[in-house]
């Protein structure tokens, strides 16, 4: 007797976990206004993946900037056009979702630079981003004019000598001074500061006396963290 169609079968290859180091996958959309939360939905029937060239190495850092997605690989920095159009009915139900527009064309930035394996060095502020490329001895600024190696602004030899021996490269942004602070953890620890207002195109202005584990700016006040403690660098309330 015919038992009907089989509902399960075996695969030609064993089913196993896969580590996709150069690919992206995205879920459904979230819209607080209409109460739609599909962040836990990954529909394989739709185009929900985006792969970049594996020759660029693994993806180390993603950063959203306006309608673009900055993708920092080990050996290349890319820009992926990001957008998602959804039409809603009056009751909030989705009428049409253009999922193919979530991640669009991949555009590499000019320059043979990446972020190596130091995503902790990345800082984004306004339309500028800063990060290191340890493998090439470069400190990079990503702005509207593309990638610029700012290590060459008077500190090229110093970074060539000290980046390679550093185990951790911690970036932070001091908003009130418009400075990118980079901490190098090596046999000797350093914190160096790059200021956009120092000369044409900015320059390295000083070595700092503090060696933070991380840092950030909030309401124009710069904070650093060390051994579980938070320090304010505001001149009126320094702690």
Contact between 118 and 169 under an 8 Å Cβ cutoff? The reply is yes
pLDDT (average), residues 11-18: 77
Backbone dihedral angles phi then psi of residue 160, each to the nearest 5 degrees:
-60, -35
Contact between 114 and 76 under an 8 Å Cβ cutoff? The reply is yes
3-state secondary structure of 121: helix
pLDDT in tens, 15-65: 788 888 999 988 888 888 888 898 998 887 888 888 999 999 999 999 998
Say how many C-beta atoms besides its own lie within 10 A of residue 9's C-beta: 5
Q: Which DSSP letter does residue 109 get?
A: P
pLDDT in tens, 67-86: 789 999 999 999 988 875 55
pLDDT at 228 over 60: yes
Mean pLDDT rounded to a whole number for the chain: 86
CA dihedral 107, 61, 72, 151 (to 10 degrees): 140
Q: Which of 187, 224, 178 is nearest to 205 (CA)?
A: 178
Contact between 58 and 118 under an 8 Å Cβ cutoff? The reply is no
Exposure pattern of 191-223 as b/e (b: 16+ CB <10 Å)?
bbbbbbebeeebbbbeebeeebeebbbeeebbb
% of the chain surpassing 70 pLDDT? 86
Say how many C-beta atoms besides its own lie within 10 A of residue 234's C-beta: 13
**Which range has the worst mean pLDDT, 97-106, 183-192, 199-208?**
97-106
Q: Which of 79, 78, 80, 98 is nearest to 88 (CA)?
A: 98
pLDDT at 238 over 60: no
pLDDT of residue 3: 61
Q: Which of 108, 103, 63 is nearest to 83 (CA)?
A: 103
**More confidently predicted of 13 and 196:** 196
pLDDT at 99 over 50: no
Q: How far apart are CA 23 and CA 26, in angstroms?
A: 10
Contact between 214 and 170 under an 8 Å Cβ cutoff? The reply is yes
């Amino acid at each position: 007797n015919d038992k009907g169609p089989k509902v399960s079968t075996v695969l030609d290859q064993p089913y196993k976990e896969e580590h996709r180091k150069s690919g992206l996958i995205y879920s459904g959309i979230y819209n607080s206004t209409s109460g739609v939360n599909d962040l836990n939905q990954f529909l394989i029937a739709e185009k929900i993946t985006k792969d970049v060239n594996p020759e660029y190495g693994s993806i180390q850092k993603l950063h959203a900037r306006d309608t673009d997605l900055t993708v920092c690989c080990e050996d290349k920095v890319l820009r992926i056009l990001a957008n998602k159009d959804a039409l809603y009915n009056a009751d909030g139900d989705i009428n049409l979702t253009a999922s193919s527009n979530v991640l669009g064309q991949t555009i590499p930035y000019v320059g043979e630079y990446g972020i190596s394996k130091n995503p902790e060095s990345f800082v984004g502020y306004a339309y500028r981003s800063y990060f290191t490329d340890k493998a090439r001895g470069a400190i990079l600024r990503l702005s509207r004019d593309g990638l610029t190696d700012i290590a060459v602004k008077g500190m090229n030899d110093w970074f060539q000598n000290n980046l390679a021996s550093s185990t951790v490269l911690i970036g932070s942004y001091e908003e009130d001074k418009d400075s990118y602070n980079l901490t190098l953890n090596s046999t000797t620890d350093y914190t160096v500061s790059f200021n956009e207002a120092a000369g044409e195109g900015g320059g390295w202005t000083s070595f700092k006396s503090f060696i933070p584990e991380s840092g950030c700016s909030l309401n124009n006040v710069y904070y650093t963290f060390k051994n579980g403690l938070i320090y304010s660098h505001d001149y009126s309330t320094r702690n």
